[in-house]
A and B are shown apart, each in its own frame.
Chain A
Amino acid sequence: MQSLADSSQLLKGVLDLAVLAVLADHDSYGYDVVRRLRETGLSEVGDASVYGTLRRLYQAGALNSYVVPSDEGPHRKYYGLNERGRQALSESTRTWSALTAALNRLLDGRSSNNGR
């Protein structure tokens, strides 16, 4: 069993939401999504995790995709949110807010108890 403090385990659960949020900003291709997530501070996000998440969201019908040829380097497959993706994002955002609010209350309460 892995330790709870392992942030990559925590990250896995919210990667869908993170990827949807990045794509809501503007359409993007695989490695660009990885880079933007890392720039936001999710430095431990793995390349394979992002690629797998993109493919799964695409298969689930939350994303559309198109190929943009590039003169130098490989063709890039861009992903963007469709109606279903935007819906999933707003639902997940609500769930996330409720969850973090609850956890914050829990953690705050604990730390003030400790402070007494």
Chain B
Amino acid sequence: MADETQQNEVARYAAAVRAELFDLAMPEREALLEDLEDHLAEVLAESELPRASRLGTPEAYAAELRAAYGAGLRTPTRRFPWIHRLVGAAVAQVSGWSSVQAVREYLPELRPAWWVLRAYLVVLVLAVILRGDQDIHPIPNPFTSGGVVEIIAMAVAVVLSIRLGRWASRRKDAESWPLRAGNAVVALGGLIALGSMSTLPGWVGTPHRLGVCPTPSPRVRSATYIRIPGTASRSMAYFCMTRTAGRWWRAQTATDSSRSIQLPLTVSRSQMNIRSARRR
């Protein structure tokens, strides 16, 4: 009978056992405790005896596990063991919650989605790096010169990323640290690229050389010059954006080399590189 109470009981007991073994190095601990919950549930399901007489205290259970697993366990030297104990107890407590366990159960199913996303982010970061920071836009964009290259790069990256993911998940010793570090770098780089791409009002740089926009009304709090590559002479155009009541408005057309510029009516945010100037 795997009813609710018993599930909670198993989760609590397993969390206590995990807390006892928190000093062990990570891969070994995971290998040892991987299906502790299932095993405990089995033991309880097949026995009429109350838990205490069946399993004993979590401390004793953990000690017995440690002894039985034996030589494969190493305890890394910690500089602040009490911090690890504290963190271990907290982690064990949280991972004992049934909701956390439910999420942990379906997380592995999302892995392929991450592999594809990882490929996209790698290409995005590479594109941003290769272009410099002038022109961050979503990729692949078939209307730009590099569009075809981006599409091909995406396809190659997706295939490679999936192969890497499948290879890593077939290995027994979980994921190696270079792969974890690589994932973290890709995720962080991707976040930065996406962030600078999409947040028009949040981008704060040095005021453009045209100076501060004239603000048309006292309600305008700040004004910003937008540079649009490839739309005018010297391959750039300017116009003035103002921010009013949290929204951005085109306030006034600016001039470049004393020449008025016809602006496109719609300019996608991603085509803009923003120089912002706070109103004095």
Interface residues of A (CB under 8 A from B): 12, 15, 29-31, 34-35, 46-53, 55-56, 59-60, 72-77
Q: Tell me whether B64 is interfacial, beta carbon within 8 Å.
A: yes
Q: How far is the CA of A66 from the CA of B172 in the complex (A)?
A: 14
How close is A47's CB to chain B, nearest CB, in angstroms?
6
Residues of B within 8 A of A35 (CB): 46
Residues of A within 8 A of B64 (CB): 46, 48-49, 52
- Contact check, A59 vs B41: say whether CB atoms are below 8 A apart: no
Q: How far is the CA of A76 from the CA of B55 in the complex (A)?
A: 18
Q: Tell me whether B248 is interfacial, beta carbon within 8 Å.
A: no
The answer to whether A52 and B68 touch (CB under 8 A), given A47-B55, A72-B2, A74-B2, is yes
* A contacts with B: majority SS: helix
Residues of B within 8 A of A56 (CB): 32, 68-70, 72
- Contact check, A55 vs B32: say whether CB atoms are below 8 A apart: yes
- Contact check, A59 vs B72: say whether CB atoms are below 8 A apart: yes
Residues of A within 8 A of B42 (CB): 29-31, 73-74, 76
- Contact check, B31 vs A48: say whether CB atoms are below 8 A apart: no
For the A-B complex, the count of residue pairs with Cβ-Cβ distances under 8 Å equals: 77
9 tightest Cβ-Cβ pairs between the two chains A and B = A52-B68, A48-B64, A74-B41, A49-B68, A52-B69, A73-B45, A31-B42, A52-B65, A30-B39
Question: How would residues 1 to 32 of chain B score, 1 for a CB under 8 Å from any chain A CB and 0 otherwise?
Answer: 11000000000000000000000000000011
Known: A47-B55, A52-B65, A74-B37. 6 other contacts (CB 8 A): A15-B68, A48-B64, A49-B68, A52-B66, A72-B1, A73-B45
The answer to whether A55 and B31 touch (CB under 8 A), given A29-B42, A30-B39, A74-B38, is yes
Q: How far is the CA of A12 from the CA of B64 in the complex (A)?
A: 10
Q: How far is the CA of A107 from the CA of B69 in the complex (A)?
A: 31
Q: Tell me whether B102 is interfacial, beta carbon within 8 Å.
A: no
- Contact check, B55 vs A77: say whether CB atoms are below 8 A apart: no
Residues of B within 8 A of A75 (CB): 38
- Contact check, A51 vs B36: say whether CB atoms are below 8 A apart: yes
List 11 A-B residue pairs with CB atoms under 8 Å apart, sorted by A's residue number: A31-B39, A47-B43, A47-B55, A47-B61, A51-B39, A52-B64, A52-B65, A55-B69, A73-B1, A73-B45, A77-B39
- Contact check, B68 vs A48: say whether CB atoms are below 8 A apart: yes
- Contact check, A31 vs B68: say whether CB atoms are below 8 A apart: no
How close is A38's CB to chain B, nearest CB, in angstroms?
12
Q: How far is the CA of A31 from the CA of B68 in the complex (A)?
A: 16
How close is A70's CB to chain B, nearest CB, in angstroms?
9
Interface centre among A48, A50, A60, A74 (most CB of B within 10 A): A48
Q: Tell me whether B34 is interfacial, beta carbon within 8 Å.
A: yes
Q: How far is the CA of A52 from the CA of B36 in the complex (A)?
A: 10
Q: How far is the CA of A59 from the CA of B72 in the complex (A)?
A: 9
Residues of B within 8 A of A30 (CB): 39, 42-43
Residues of B within 8 A of A60 (CB): 72
Q: How far is the CA of A29 from the CA of B72 in the complex (A)?
A: 22
How close is A29's CB to chain B, nearest CB, in angstroms?
7
